[in-house]
Structure 1
Amino acid sequence: MGYYPMSSDSTVPSSAATVVVGAGAVGCSVAYHLSELGAENIVVVDQGPLPVTGGSSTHAPGIMFQTSPSKLMTKTAHYTSRLLSDAGVYDEVGGIEVARSEERMDFLQRRVEHATAYGLPDPQLLSPGEVSDHLPLVDEDEILGGYYSPTDGRVDGVAALQWYMEQSDADFYGHTTVTDLDVSGGEVTAVETDRGRIECGRCVLATNNWGYQTGQLAGLDLPIAPVQHQYAVTEPLDELADEAVAPRVDTADMEIPGDRSIADAMSQAPTRPVGRDQDHSLYFRTHGDALGLGSYNHEALPVDPRKMGGNTDERQASVREFTAEHWERATHPDRDTSPKQAFEELLPVTKDIDFATTENGIFVFTPDGMPVLGEPEAIDDLWTGLAIWWTHSGGYGKILAEWMETGVPKLPSGPVEVGGIHVDRFEPHAGSPDYFVDRGSTRYRQVYSIVEPGWQPDDHRALRRSPFYHHQQELDAEFTQSGGWEVPKWYDSNADLVDRYADQIPEREGWRGINRSPIQGAEHLHTREHVSMYDMTSFSSIVVEGADAAAFLQRMCTNDVDIDPGRVRYSLLCNEGGTALGDVTVVRLDTDEFLVTTGGGNSPGIHGGWLKDHAPETVSVTIEEGSRATVGLWGPKSRLLLQRVTDADVSAESFPYFSAKQIYVGDVPVLALRVSYVGELGWELWAPSEYGGRLWETLWEAGQDLDVRPMGSGALESMRLEKGYRLWGTDLDTDSDPFAAGLSFAVDMDTDFVGKDALADIQRDGPDSRLVPMTLDDATDAVLGGRPVLDDGSALGYVVAGDYGYSLGESIAYAYLPTDYAESGTSVQIRCEGTTYDATVRDEPLFDPGRSKILR
């Protein structure tokens, strides 16, 4: 093991079990964690010198703020800080985020709640005076307070890369440019470099700024957008004269591309907490006796992902020239103060200061702002670890290594949810550079913004429209975007229902009322009493057919899906560790033909990709994303409406719950499934997309005297929580097993399926936690996800989903709680938006436990 600068006449090994492309924070972390798991014959290559490669890992200031609304981002950040702290390359000086507005103080209270929920140690709100005690250069008259996380800090980039290389069993090769990825028969077989060809069993792309370009070598359109970001280091300050400390690593003899002063400045450690002024999109830290100032407070400066380029004698590849105009003028579309002015107000010592080092450093964003991990379904043995910064690099390297070696993505604390970071989560249009560069620029703009609940982008809209779209426009739908689809959240045409149900719809104020409407509650209550139509076109169907289709699905599904034609069964897909990859509805159409239905968003790529990747040659798997238009017809009058428009017998005796029939709705051929996601009598009606408009019109016209209404996704959420129906990616994902999730009925241990051995162990010992509903004792406020569930101030878990149950008249929250607290009647507290609520654990389902409504 070791690392090799590479001379002009040297070559790389001819073969390796694993080739990692990229020797920055992510590539080194993956190689280290693979080694820890016992993987052998690992080769890491990078186009730059080692360890200062010319990527963002060594021009970045290394600041690590761990708290995020995302549990996964918080957990990976904390793991990274502990790993690098133990390695001796992390400065645990703490981190402080200041508030210059009341809105930001509310935001910082949410910070405390998220940190408490996800287990970060000792999060605190500080007064202005307490902030200046920690950060005496801050003018306390400019702030209202701060949020303090004691284990935040800074990673020493060069020292960390050296530590990874020394501790790993991999061989590292610098000055080695990857020129091609050989893909044959749907799998990667070799990595071509300018130093020779490396035959490989698997390959990891950890190229971040060059992620799009390296993906293209394998024919993948990875939506990785490079964007410039400003950072400057002042000349030494008298106020910091006593703060100078010797760097961990002497870089004098290292080969460093471009401006050497950048790497030298970054090697100077902070001795005070790192800070953020998010109201002005700024952050700062000390560099020994100097001050480093970082700014997102400028218009987005994207870089063409196809033209990133490489190192030269004059330039580090991921650094562009500092653009003074973006420092001195207010160019950010949401900020009216320049970075220079805002820093001078917050840190008066910076007024008229000279800079010793400046840069426009490049790093990357995806359309949703989350990383890209995993093995794409299209290419076996090609793994991705992209759009990851120092803050989360250790954690994601660990997750990816576990995923590659064991099939179960996890941290030491247990399995983790990967639906939101999976490489296959992106919709088909996301690979367009016009799209992902624009969306990446939007994510850059939002880095320090207060993003409201339910926020929606306004660019690249109406990309995917169901056949019902023009009808929904006529009904004044309030659209949200999901996977590129325009999905109604509520319909303003239903505003009259608010008066009808006014006494059952609590007011929503403040943060919890943003991008919500009382119409959502009205649509919920109307559906319980009458009949509604819900657009399910963004959901996907997967056709599985062939001589071995039944045996294949039996192997992939946790439930017994060897059912009679015309029957429907709910099941889970699990990985080898027994945690849930997703939930699906399996419909047997014929002896050798099945339809598997799944949700929208990332479900088609992840769930469909999982099935395609595991299917034998005798089984065909076709993902029908967008090829069917689907209406959820739900409510106590749904049978009356459906019977009016079909000759088929839809009585309870002829068409029982969880069965399927091919019928005609008017002239439209429909696969009708007697299933309901809202706990009411109803059907899902799946038709070829070209018939969708007529399907909607037929139902709509026939149901006018029944007061048929359209229903949006807001009502769907509150209705499914009343029934305790799970939602993939929210209260069910790859960090939960079926028994903890309360889905033991969907596991048939008499069948043989992926993950069975792991589930047998969990079944024998019992889960450590259980997903349970709670209701607030004395409040009708809606509880938001990611908020801590407490027992006398100690965190037990966190809310995974919450809403008001309009039919129950109670506020509902779901959380995974330790089994000792999961019994009905247990008293707990939930903290949300600065208020602590008393709550009680309840049995589920909360609504219609005898299922009289759904089975009628």
Structure 2
Amino acid sequence: MSSTKPPTKAKTVVIGAGAVGCSVAYHLSELGAEDVVVVDQGPLPVTGGSSVHAPGIMFQTSPSKIQTKTAHYTSRLLSDAGVYDEVGGIELARSEERMDFLRRRVEWATAYGLPEPELLSPEEVTEHLPLVNEEEILGGYYSPTDGRVDGISALQWYVEHSSADFYGNVEVTDMEVTGGEIGAVVTDDGRIECDRCVIATNNWGYQTGQLAGLDLPIAPVEHQYVVTEPMEELADADSNVGENTSGLDVPGNRDIQEQMSEGPHRPVGRDQDHSLYFRTHGDAIGLGSYNHETLSVDPEAMGTNTEESQASVRGFTEEHWTKPTHRYRDKSAKQAFDELLPATADAEYAATENGIFVFTPDGMPAVGPTEVDGLWSGLAIWWTHSGGYGRIIAEWMENGVPRLPSGPVDTGGIHVRRFEPHAGEKDYFVDRGDTRYEQVYMNVEPRWQPDDHRGLRTSPFYAQQQALGAEFYQSGGWETPQWYESNADLVDRYADRIPEQDGWQGINRSAIEGAEHLHTREKVSMFDMTTFSSIMVEGDGAGEFLQRMCSNDVDIEDGQVRYSLLLNEGGNILADVTVVRLDSEEYMVTTGGGNSPGIHGGWLEDHAPETVSVTIEESARSTIGLWGPKSRLLLQRCTNADVSDEDFGYFTAKQIYVGEVPVVALRVSYVGELGWELWAPSEYGQRLWETLSEAGRDLDVRPMGGGALESMRLEKGFRLWGTDIDTDSNPYEAGLPFAVDMDTDFVGREALQAAREDGIDDRIVPLTLDDSTDVMLSGRPVMIDGEAQGYVQAGDYGYSIGESVAYTYLPDEYAEAGTSVQIRCEGETYDATVRGEPLFDAERDKILR
């Protein structure tokens, strides 16, 4: 730590010296990075941000693999550093629904490798937590390595063990961005020229991003915490456990921060039925609550990080503690705690506060390289995950590969560039942040959908889809039909092939999805692909550029189509793409919807030479997937072009007219049936839909939703980026060797060659259930001889093959067809068998007809 003025130049500047900024600096140091400077507007190491006022409770288990993995890494790092109290964590159930949820907790923990998770009876809970009223609970979930971090001591440890230079009481006032690149960080104590910069300001993330011209969707929200006076029931507490050994003077809210310095001597706990958590502070107890209406903070009104400017934000609002103000609950935090922990009912409070933390629109962190070259984000991260994400960011910056010591990690759900174009609008991300705050302790259903800010992005087919009774889901902000009520008549037609799905697995599903699947296999359907994106790559050297970026050989002729991958420097999958050569200097690269355009298109933009233009056409085209045995007959009725197999073969493209509509037609199919993707300018979309619908009436053409697409693509083994493949897998592990041509020179080739020579340890395989038609949910453990060897990546019912299908990665020795496994899902154990792929139409007779 330095007390002098910051330098005028540095290789790397980290803005923010809280949990994330310190972790990034520490891990950069561990990787050998030099000339790293960390600045913070507060004093060091007690900056005054959420890292020092947070209770430090760390519950590691999450339905998200990366959240669980980063939490576990953080707990091990801080435990080894001596600043973590590993007292265990117990999550309580006061309802049957919550007990079901705790069983899911065990399954997620088992799937993702947390040690010794278990369910406890009420009696076992009170053995660990004697203050809990046993009559109020049905049981608990115990994770023995959960605990609490001493935030101030942890920050001090990071500073002392990092080679970076730290400067406190330095406010960043501007960021210089020239030609799309970061050039300098301007502070109230001078300008720091730099090559790269990390934003790790969390509560102030939106404001910091604005300095660089970025609309980062970071919404601050308050929640409440109190610490009681010493209690007689805790008089036997070991006062040496977790006490603050830093010897630091603690500015700011002294009452709460001095209380924070005393560690727990019993497991940390939470009552998710009432959005509460608690931990002991020596002979006192801390009580935290989300059980109040959402208390959003204007992200532009955070002010500076001083006691005076934060007083209006963090002032304790007693009405939210004592009155049942939360719209989903009929008890106040105080009443719920009085019932659960009766000894606290009459306790006086030694300290109270409304603390602040932040949420993104989807509740996940915002991590990685931003649109500004050299500018990185490390935002919306809790203490729980801060060590892990600091390691990931540092590895990403230094080596080009986001990873933990256990291996590469999946970044699709955390990448800062995943957000849709409207996500930076303040009202939108504040409202969505409110929703994610509400969901921290909610039992969120599979396929849950928000009810606010709907209808923002709609395809040209939206009116027709509404008239057909589409059930809309959101994907990347788009309204995408999951199924159509107009197809309800098909359910009777296929009733004997559509099993019922009960319980949690059946929520937000419809039998119509299965009917649409089967109809497409027998007739013809239209699927709205407008959420999929086209990326135009044009100019002198466009072909050579794509050859360098793509893992496959894309030196193809005009009108040819080739499936390929984009890899990072570590040989792991950034995207799967379809490359279409329109002419010698013009290519169309298509990729999936959701968060793909900003991440995948951005990767190409960032690497393109000056002679090549990369244009992400996220909304410029409307696209219909026309699939099914009668798709050729229907398309031929609408065009003068020859669409016979002889003239329009599989994986070729033509620019044709469908009726009056100019279309780039690709002979490709994501469902394993004969078919085409029809890419048209958006303004022609409505006419394209009408033309195909009218021409296909006697062929019984139907619309098809996303539910049918998912089950059909799983039957064929077609991969979905962000689900089956991501930056934590390479092409050989993902079963995509045909998308790699090692005779070409592409990004990631050397790492991929080394991985192949070392041997592939894990690979993806399909499973089918032996004697059940239940749908398997993602994140559930796949067991062999009682040990978790993988987890469900994706699952659905295969209506064409009559079996429930799940995909998982397994160690190579277990990945052979015929291997028996078990899947644990919703408290049940299902027998399943590894199968060869594809499960449907292995000879490709249907797709090549």
- TM-score, normalised to structure 2's length? 0.99
1:811 pairs with one of 791, 799, 804: 804
The 3 A distance-change label for structure 1 pair 475 and 334 is same
Paired AA for residue 359 in structure 2: F
1:384-441, CA deviations, whole angstroms, 9 ceiling, x for partnerless residues? Answer: 1000000000000000000000000000000000111111100000000000000001
* Secondary structure, counterpart of 2:821 in structure 1: strand
Q: Are the counterparts in 1 of residues 41 and 170 from structure 2 also a CA contact under 8 Å?
A: yes
Structure 1 residues 280-338: Cα deviation after superposition (integer angstroms, max 9, x where no partner): 00000001110100000111011000110124454657951010000111111211111
Kept in 1, the 8 Å contact 2:221–2:356? The answer is yes
Q: CA–CA distance in 2 between the matches of 1:847 and 1:311?
A: 59
> Which residue of structure 1 aligns with residue 410 of structure 2?
417
CA contact (8 A) 1:225 1:305 kept: yes
Partner of 1:82: 76
2:687 aligned partner: 694
The match for 1:249 among 227, 244, 247 is: 244
The whole-number CA distance in structure 2 between the counterparts of 1:314 and 1:222 is: 26
In the alignment, the residues of structure 2 paired with residue 771 and residue 585 of structure 1 have an alpha-carbon distance, to the nearest angstrom, of 21
Residue equivalent to 1:124:
118
* Cα distance in 2, alignment partners of residues 153 and 179 from structure 1: 37
Q: How many correspondences in the alignment?
A: 848
The CA deviation string for residues 663-703 of structure 1, in whole angstroms up to 9 with x for no partner, is: 10000000000000000000000000000000000000011
SS at match of 1:401: helix
CA distance in 2, matches of 1:555, 1:710: 38
Offset of residue 107 of structure 1 = 0.4
- Residues of 2 paired with 1:810 and 1:69: CA distance? 25
Give the counterpart of 2:650 among 641, 657, 662: 657
Contact 1:533-1:632 at 8 Å conserved across structures = yes
CA contact (8 A) 1:55 1:317 kept: no
Q: Match of 1:149?
A: 143
**Contact 1:521–1:715 (CA<8 Å) still a contact in 2?**
yes
Question: Which AA in structure 2 matches 1:416?
Answer: V
State the partner residue of 2:155. Answer: 161
Which residue of 37, 43, 48 corresponds with 1:54? 48
Match of 2:39 in 1: 45
AA in 2 matched with 1:683: W
Whether contact under 8 Å (2:100, 2:826) holds in the other structure is yes
- Specify which of 286, 303, 320 is matched with residue 314 of structure 2: 320
Indicate the SS of the match to 1:20.
Answer: strand
1:443-842 residue pairs with structure 2 within 5 A?
A: 443-842=436-835
Work out the CA distance in 1 between the residues paired with 2:534 and 2:748: 24
Q: How does 1:338-377 map to 2 (within 5 A)?
A: 338-376=332-370
Runs of 5+ consecutive residues of structure 1 not aligned to the other structure: 5-9
Q: How does 1:51-200 map to 2 (within 5 A)?
A: 51-200=45-194
Superposed displacement of residue 510, structure 1: 0.5
**Residues 522, 628 of structure 2: 8 Å contact kept:** yes
Q: Is the 8 A contact 2:302 2:310 kept in 1?
A: no
Query: C-alpha displacement at 1:473, in angstroms?
Result: 0.3
Matched-pair contact (CA < 8 Å) for 1:586–1:596:
yes
Asked if the contact 1:544/1:622 (under 8 Å) is kept, the reply is: yes
Q: Partners in 2 of 1:27 and 1:3 — Cα distance?
A: 16
For 1:403, which of 391, 396, 408 is the aligned residue? 396
Q: Which amino acid is 2:292 matched to?
A: H
Contact 1:56–1:318 (8 Å) recurs in 2: no
Identity between Structure 1 and Structure 2 (%): 76
- How many angstroms does 1:186 deviate by? 1.2
> Which residue number corresponds to residue 268 of structure 1?
262
Assess if the C-alpha contact under 8 Å between 2:536 and 2:586 holds in 1: yes
Residue type at the aligned position of 1:117: A
Task: Give SS of 2:757's match.
Answer: helix
Task: Sort the Cα spacing of 1:730 and 1:373 in 2 relative to 1 into closer, same or farther, 3 A.
Answer: same
Indicate the SS of the match to 2:768. Answer: strand
Distance 2:753 2:621 in 1: 38
1:535-573 superposed Cα distances (whole Å, 9 cap, x missing partner): 000110000011100000000000001100100000000
Q: How many angstroms apart in 1 are the aligned matches of 2:175 and 2:564? A: 38
Q: Return the letter of the residue paired with 1:361.
A: G
Aligned to 1:7: none
Of 25, 29, 35 in structure 2, the residue corresponding to residue 35 of structure 1 is: 29
Structure 1 match to 2:299: 305
**Secondary structure at 2:597's aligned position in 1?**
helix
SS in 1 for 2:452: coil
**Per-residue deviation, residues 134-173 of structure 1 (Å, max 9, x unmatched):** 1000011100000000000000000000000000001111
Give the counterpart letter for 2:443 in structure 1: I
Shift of 1:765: 2.6
Q: Do 2:538 and 2:585's aligned partners in 1 also have CA atoms closer than 8 Å?
A: yes
SS in 2 for 1:521: helix
Compute the displacement of 1:12 (Å).
1.4
Contact 1:776–1:811, Cα closer than 8 Å, also in 2: yes
For residues 37-80 of structure 1, what are the alpha-carbon distances to aligned partners after superposition, in whole Å with 9 as ceiling and x for unaligned? Answer: 00011110000011111100000000000000000000000000
Contact 1:662–1:671 (8 Å) recurs in 2: yes
Alpha-carbon distance in structure 1 between the residues aligned to 2:395 and 2:734:
23
1:324-335 equivalent positions in 2, closer than 5 A: 324-335=318-329
What residue identity is the alignment partner of 1:193? Answer: T
- Match of 1:854, SS state, is coil
Answer whether contact 1:332 1:445 (CA < 8 A) is retained: no
Q: How has the CA–CA distance of structure 1 residues 315 and 305 changed in structure 2, closer, same or farther, with 3 Å as cutoff? A: closer
SS at match of 1:853: coil
The answer as to 2:399 corresponding to 1:388 is no
Shift of the alpha carbon at 1:11?
A: 2.4
**Deviations, residues 749-808 of structure 1 (Å, cap 9, x unaligned):** 000000000111122232110100010111111111100010121001101011100000
> Structure 1 stretch 396-405 or stretch 348-357: which is displaced more?
348-357
Distance of 2:46 and 2:123 partners within structure 1 = 40
Cα distance, 1:249 vs structure 2: 3.0
Counterpart of 2:473 in 1: which secondary structure?
strand
Which 10-residue stretch deviates more, 617-626 or 245-254?
245-254
Provide the C-alpha distance between the structure 2 equivalents of 1:593 and 1:499, rounded to a whole number of angstroms.
48
8 Å Cα contact 2:153-2:246 kept in structure 1: no
Q: What's the secondary structure of 1:369's corresponding residue?
A: coil
Q: Kindly state the Cα deviation for residue 252 of structure 1 after the two structures are TM-superposed.
A: 6.6
* Contact 2:525-2:626 within 8 A present in 1 as well: yes
1-side partners of 2:325 and 2:227: how far apart? 21
Name the SS for the 2:97 alignment partner: helix
> Equivalents in 2 of 1:417, 1:494: separation in Å?
37
TM-score, length basis structure 1: 0.98
Change (3 A) 1:701 1:112: same
- Which amino acid is the alignment partner of residue 682 of structure 2? S
